[in-house]
Amino acid sequence: MAEAKGLSKPVKLKSDLASFLGKTELPRTEITKKLWDYIKANKLQTKSENGKAENAGKYIVADAKLLTIFKNTNSKSKSGKVTNLTKLKEGQTIDMMQMAAVVGANIE
């Protein structure tokens, strides 16, 4: 079998994400899928920034479990956009487009 490459290659998870997912290594695609499965199962989406969870929309409501992962995020993209979620509080939201930064901040 060919070695997995790119997004399919398993990466080492930092402790908070490893605890959340119950694994120490996963491919980025699987990390994102499992996070979305949790978000959808717990109806943590909303249509408005900092709105109440309503299971639809482009914003993700941080519950206590997600907050431990989100708060590790303080990164700068190649385009220069800064994603700093270190001061996020439970019940606040992030834009779904910030999920790549969240995943990136929680892997080694």
Domains of the chain: 10-105 (1.10.245.10)
In this structure, what is the dihedral angle of CA atoms 49, 95, 40, 26, given to the nearest 10 degrees? -160
Contact 96/39 with Cβ under 8 angstroms?
A: no
Taking only the tens place, the pLDDT of each residue in 69-95 is: 999 999 988 888 899 999 999 999 999
Q: Which residues contact 79 (CB under 8 A, 6 or more apart)?
A: none
Contact 90/63 with Cβ under 8 angstroms?
A: yes
Taking only the tens place, the pLDDT of each residue in 4-60 is: 677 788 999 999 999 999 999 999 999 999 999 999 999 999 998 888 888 788 999
The pTM (predicted TM-score) of the whole model is 0.88
